[in-house]
Amino acid sequence: MAKYTLLKTEGRAKRATFETVHGVVQTPCFMNVGTVGVIKGAVSTEDLKEVGCQVELSNTYHLHVRTGDQIIKELGGLHKFMVWDRPILTDSGGFQVYSLADIRKIKEEGVTFRSHIDGHKIFMGPEESMTIQSNLGSTIAMAFDECPPALAERSYVQNSVERTTRWLARCKDKMAQLNSLPDTVNKHQLLFGINQGAVYDDIRIEHAKRISEMDLDGYAVGGLAVGETHEQMYHVLDQVVPYLPQAKPTYLMGVGTPQNIIEAVNRGIDFFDCVYPSRNGRHGHVYTNQGKRNLFNKRYEKDMRPIEEGCQCPACRTYSRAYIHHLLKAKEMLGMRLCVLHNLYFYNHLMEQIRGALDQGRFADFKKEKLDELQMVSREKEEKAKK
């Protein structure tokens, strides 16, 4: 059902379209993270369209424990529930099982853990994760995997990755079955597999080869941005991406800064997601081409300029730094909301600029200019800090 069309390549960088039942995604694309079916910071689905969001990302684990995927299915699925008609990607819940829940036990069948909300016991394996994601009816479901810590022992990672491959086969079978049922919310649900292997090149490459043979709808690189350096992350991408099918979308999970995204596009990644823009926005930290600003800072008290001059986001079109500073100080929700809207727009607009550069065959120049600009900013900050 999905159709991935490569429009341009430059080095390993890809510019493509990804057609789904919920519309066409232009890649490279940043997915906006709405953990419980909403972007934190009082952002509505109308807002998401305004800030140029193409794909919304929701969280399987969080929706399973509250309000419950069964109820969402009864109400017609997540698209209808949150009133969003563009693509939704749901993660598998795997990452949250390892990062949030305590008392977990990993077995071949799956993982037993306790809910971080009320402590009740939950079992989740490949079949459970696929069922929950099918109940939500997302456009793209992620395979259920184990995300071993970046610094885990080699033997642990080896065993974990082998189990993740077996789990992937079970995910694929389960999804085929779920998609064929008469009452399934989205019978065209797509499945992305996830490459793991921590920082062990050979384990990652072997795993990439194995999952590439499984003919999935897309391929993610997982287990990064969990404590390794940026250089280690880029190194893993350099090693792994060449072994993933070029004719399928690639997704770097949980990454990252504008610099990380530009570097990863250069290494062949199509999809990104990260909580940075919304989380930073909620704390009054806004992204601009001149670096990050903290709008709580007193220097913005009388500054009547928008967050970023020329920015077309809903916040910058209307409001000043001074007013937003005031709202943040007064703990008014609108202050937080405007910062989140600006940051999401900034990320989505960055992707638009990246796609434009690829379309024109000038991504290499764009990358250099943009990274120089961003580096210049951090240099200025360092100099200021010294004074």
- Which regions of the chain does DSSP assign to beta strands (E)? 3-10, 13-20, 23-27, 29-33, 56-59, 88-91, 102-106, 111-114, 121-124, 140-142, 190-195, 218-221, 250-252, 271-273, 285-288, 291-294
Question: At its nearest, how many Å lie between Zn ion and the CB of residue 308?
Answer: 5
Task: Count CB-CB contacts under 10 A for residue 197.
Answer: 26
Q: Which of 199, 313, 338, 354 binds Zn ion (CB under 5 A)?
A: 313
Pairing, β 88-91 against β 56-59: parallel
Note the Cα 114 to chain centre separation in Å: 25
x-marked contacts with Zn ion along 15-44 as a string, rule CB under 5 A: ------------------------------
Phi/psi at 220 (nearest 5 deg)? -110, 150
269 binds Zn ion, rule: CB under 5 A:
no
311 lines the binding site for Zn ion (CB under 5 A)? yes
Nearer to Zn ion, 33 or 315 (CB): 315
Out of 47, 69, 91, 145, the active site residue is 91
Q: Please list every residue from 278 through 307 that binds Zn ion, using CB under 5 A.
A: 307
**Collapsing DSSP states into helix, strand and coil, what is residue 196?**
coil
User: What is the bridge-based pairing of β-strands 218-221 and 250-252?
Assistant: parallel
48 vs 194, beta carbon nearer Zn ion: 48
Assess 64 for contact with Zn ion (CB under 5 A).
no
Note whether 316 binds Zn ion by CB under 5 A: yes
Catalytic residue flag (residue 69)? no
Active-site annotation holds for 85: no
CA distance 314 to 279: 18
- Judged by beta carbon, residue 73 or residue 342, the one nearer Zn ion is 342
Considering beta carbons, is residue 14 or 342 the nearer one to Zn ion? Answer: 342
Q: Which tokens in the block code for residue 225?
A: 């941005």
24 beta partners: 19
Provide the pairing of β-strand 29-33 with 56-59: parallel
| Closer Cβ to Zn ion, 159 or 318, answer by number | 318
Per-residue interface string for the shown chain with Zn ion, residues 339-368, x marking contact by CB under 5 A: ---x--------------------------
Tell me which of 47, 145, 270, 273 is the catalytic residue: 273
- 140 touches Zn ion (CB under 5 A): no
Strand partners, 90: 58, 141
Question: Which residues of this chain interact with Zn ion, rule CB under 5 A?
Answer: 307, 311, 313, 315-316, 342
Active site residues: 91, 273
